[in-house]
Structures are given as C-alpha cells and as structure tokens.
Chains A and B, each alone.
Chain A
Amino acid sequence: MNLPITLTINGHRHQLEVDPRLTLLDLLRERLDLTGTKKGCDRGQCGACTVLVDGRRVNSCLALALSHDGADILTIEGVAHGEELHPVQAAFIAHDGFQCGFCTPGQIMSTLGLIAEGQAGDDPERIREAMSGNLCRCAAYGGIVEAILEAQENMAKTDRRTAA
C-alpha cells in the first residue's frame, strides 16, 4: 500500500505517494529523474549514492523514503548556482578529482558533508579517513584530497570576505 510523504529536495517541495520498500535513492532516480545520485553497490559500501539529509551526508540506498517524511534533501543537482559551479565542483575539475566520474556526485556530496562537520581541518590524513566511505574505482584519491583542501580554503576565504 502506498503512503503519502512530503520531501523538500533541492529547495522544491514534493508531495508523493510511495511504496514502503522504496529507498530514497530509488525515489530520486526512478520517480523524480534526479539521476545525478548514483546507484553503485546499493548496499552502503561504496558511497556513490551519498546525499545530504537535513545537512548531513548519508547513504541514500540505505534510507527508506517513508522514514524520511518531512526531510530536507540536497542532491548533486542542487549544488551549483545556475551556471556557476560550487567551489567544491570547481576544485574537483581543477585537481582532476575523477576519471570516469561515476563516483563524483557522491564524492562531492560527501565533501560538502565533511566540510560542514568541520572535524578534518586541513590534515590530508584526516580528510582521507573522513572520505573512506566513498570508493573511487579509478583511484583518483590524490586529486580528490587536493580538491577538498583547496575547496575548503576557498570557501573559508569567501566566508572571511563576507564577514568583513
């Protein structure tokens, strides 16, 4: 039996009727055509499905849509400002933080979560540890860590300018 839920996704409110078995990942991809969020392992092991739920990074493949009724969700489609890339997206390009690109939406969403958590600082080892939930089969890890360091620095500079 389908049940009603309301979700805010990338700033837009959606009222939906969903099967109890539907995961947040399948809802995004199959019902709302938001295919930027990728289905890798579908078992919480690869991180390709990472989205922000109420500002926190989670694996959308292990989240029942019904259980997240009322949540505010950010996916890769909601990260850029129009044509202007988010600093994290720009840094991934500048530092070759990917090759095939399949894991990239998850890597970028996970990076946004990591920066918001504020636990890793500018220590590459702490960044690597905090990103271990996102696998990259192309092994672009070196570029990913550089991209995160630069994006974090650029975002902090912007914050300082805004505050000044």
Chain B
Amino acid sequence: MRDFDYIRPASIPDAIAAAAEPGATYLAGGTNLLDLMKGGVTSPDRIVDISRLPDLNRIEWLVDGGLRIGALVRNADLAHDTSFAKAYPAVAEALLSGASAQLRNAATVGGNLLQRTRCSYFYDTAGPCNKREPGSGCTALGGENRLHAVLGWSNACIATHPSDFCVPLVALDAVVEIEGRNGRRHVTLEEFHRLPGETPQRENALEPGDLVVAVRLPQEAASFSANARYLKVRERTSYAFAVVSAAAGLAVEGGKIRTARLALGGVAAKPWRARSAEAVLLGADADEATFARAADTALADAKPSGDNAFKIELARRIVVRTLMAALAGTPERLPALPASPFSSIPGARHDA
C-alpha cells in the first residue's frame, strides 16, 4: 500500500476542505477502500477519516413522514433498527443479503452507495480498464464477462454496480443529501449513479470534496411496507454479490395494482429503476400474467455484453418472482436466508 497523509477532521466543512484537494479520498467504514488500496487499484495521497464526524450516524424520522439516514449509520444497525425494518422491509432484506455480518458491522450507508464495481478486470492492475485508467481499454469486453451488465453498458465499460441496498432504495425514490464547497444539495438516487458512456471513470454526481451526508426516503416509501420484497440470485447461498436481483413494492386494491415500484440489481452500472415496467403494472390485474408482461418490458432494451445472455432471462424470472413474493405479502419475520429465492419450505416452488 502506498503511503498517504492521514487527516481526521473535526467538522464537515473541515472534511470538505481537506478532501477537495486532488488525490484525496474519504474513509468511513473502509471495507471497500482498504481492499482497493491493498490491491493497488486506488492509491490516495490523502485519507480524510470522517468516521468520527458528529451527527452523521443518526436515523431520523422527519415530521413530513419521511426518513433521514445519516451517511455513517452502519449497515447492520440500519437493518436491525426495528422501526426501519418494519417501514422499509425490502431495504432491510437487501442490506442483510449483502456481504457478511462482520462487513455489515463496519460498512456505512454512504460507503455502500459509493462502493466500486467488483469487475475482476477493474481489480487486475496488470491489464487495461477504462474505469481505472481512462482511455486504456476494456478487458472485460471479450473476457470473462458472464456476470457483467446487460442494460445501459457501453463499449467503454460493461461493469455492474454491486450494491444490494441501492436497489430497493432507488425503487422507493430515495434522495442523496450531499454537502460540498457550495453548500448542501439533494440528488435523487436514480440520478446519483451514472451510466458509463464514454466516461466510465465518472461513476456518480459527486464533485471534488463533495460528501454524502445522508440518504432520505420520502413519506410514500413506507406505504409499500405490507407488500415489499427483495430477491437476489447468487452463485452461493450467502456472502456473494448478486448475479441478478430485484426489489418490488406493490399497493393492491380489489385485485388491481394501484401503485408499483420495481428496480433491478446486478444488471447495469447503476441500480436500475424499471419505470416502463411500473407503467405496465399500474391499474392492471395483480397476477402472474401481468408480472410477466412487466418483466418483458423491464428487459426490453437489454442486450448481452458478452457471455451473459442468460442474465436477461434470469432477470425476467426474478422480476416475476419478486412481484409474486411482494403480492403474497411481506413476511412477519425476515426469512432465515434474506432475499434468497430458494425456499427451505417443502413444496414451495423455486423453478419460476
């Protein structure tokens, strides 16, 4: 690991001033940053340790019925907060389906949004990568790419965003609160992450020095609590990134869908809000046929970026499964294997 200056600012303005310098990066939980530094993928000149900044580790219920989650709230603390898990069960399920108990104890809300792709070519400093070294080329195109993007990719980059947490958040219209050199601003999570285009090194809306201070959920986000699920297909049952995942929330009246939310994970460089599929669901019968049409619409623009055409069909199936699970209702208690499509209940179908 290359040497760096270590700064522990006492306030948010001090942190922003220290991090606005070229070569500086923020450190919070460190679970992704230290891994990247050990691999030589990232070599900051300066680390601005924000882990002790005051007031960023609170979960606040707002008077307008919304929620404000401080950027330094640990993943485990958020998922196990009883009121939070009751109001936003799909978000809690997504959090608990990610990483391991040890990592969730350290990883923060802000860091989860900002974690880097797990594309193995991004990590392999021996070869080119447009994200790591702009203009050097993409080794994943034509490489081992069965887990890469099927939506929104470009010839410059086919990496996916690895977060589980962000998938239900984007479905629920989460907003990112950012403080920077010019004050505070709000960016929707849907607009926060960028698609690669020709500049895959620009992954989000942050400018130098910008600090994610909180994530907000609007009042309406809690209205899906009775019918909200997150499902995630992994290559092993636990402690693995999504091959494909989906978050769904439904409000159903008299068999008709009044409102629907749908987002996909593991398919693109950002958590993928499926708005066109939501439009199909709106006002339609709440049944499997409708969900299949929504799934087709959600994946209408998908195309393989390599050896990964299977992910498109897999994503369709996981969309249908997640909508069916949401329709069946949020379970009283989170399943033993959060977000797993494989049930241990005899007779339960796992072949949809």
Which residues of A approach B to under 8 Å, CB–CB?
3, 19-21, 23, 42-44, 47, 50, 56-59, 61-64, 66-67, 110, 113-114, 117, 119, 123, 125-126, 128-134
Contact = CB atoms under 8 A, between A and B. Distances in A.
A34 B291 CA distance: 56
A104 to B, nearest CB: 16
B3 interface: yes
A58 B344 contact: no
Nearest to A54: B105
Contact of A21 (B4, B76, B103): B4
| Most B-side CB within 10 Å, residue of A21, A42, A110, A113 | A21
Nearest to B2: A21
Contacts of A3: 6
A21 B38 CA distance: 10
12 contacts: A3-B6, A44-B31, A59-B103, A62-B106, A63-B30, A64-B34, A67-B51, A114-B101, A129-B338, A130-B101, A133-B103, A133-B239
B27 A67 contact: yes
B35 A62 contact: yes
B182 interface: no
Contacts of B308: none
B3 A110 contact: no
A147 to B, nearest CB: 17
A153 to B, nearest CB: 19
Interface of B: 1, 3-6, 8, 27, 30-31, 34-35, 38-39, 47, 49, 51, 76, 80, 99-103, 105-106, 237-239, 336-338, 344
A58 B344 CA distance: 29
A58 B38 contact: no
A50 B30 contact: no
A109 B52 CA distance: 25
A19 B5 CA distance: 10
A70 to B, nearest CB: 9
The SS class assigned to the B binding surface is: loop
Nearest to B100: A133
Contact of B30 (A43, A62, A133): A62
A113 B104 CA distance: 12
A114 B239 CA distance: 16
Contact of A56 (B6, B27, B105): B105
Given A23-B34, A62-B31, 7 more contacts: A43-B35, A57-B105, A59-B31, A59-B106, A61-B34, A129-B336, A133-B101
Contact of B27 (A42, A58, A64): A64
Listed from nearest, the 5 A-B pairs whose CB atoms lie closest are A133-B100, A132-B238, A125-B336, A20-B6, A132-B239
Contacts of A119: 80
B38 A43 contact: yes
B4 A58 contact: no
Contacts of A114: 101
A50 to B, nearest CB: 6
Residue among B30, B100, B338 facing the most chain A CB atoms (10 A cut-off)? B100
B101 A63 contact: no
B34 A110 contact: no
Given A129-B337, A133-B103, A66 B49 contact: yes
Contacts of A117: 76, 80, 101
A133 B102 contact: yes
A33 to B, nearest CB: 22
Nearest to B28: A67
A44 B103 contact: yes
Contacts of A57: 101-102, 105
A125 B344 contact: yes
B100 A123 contact: no
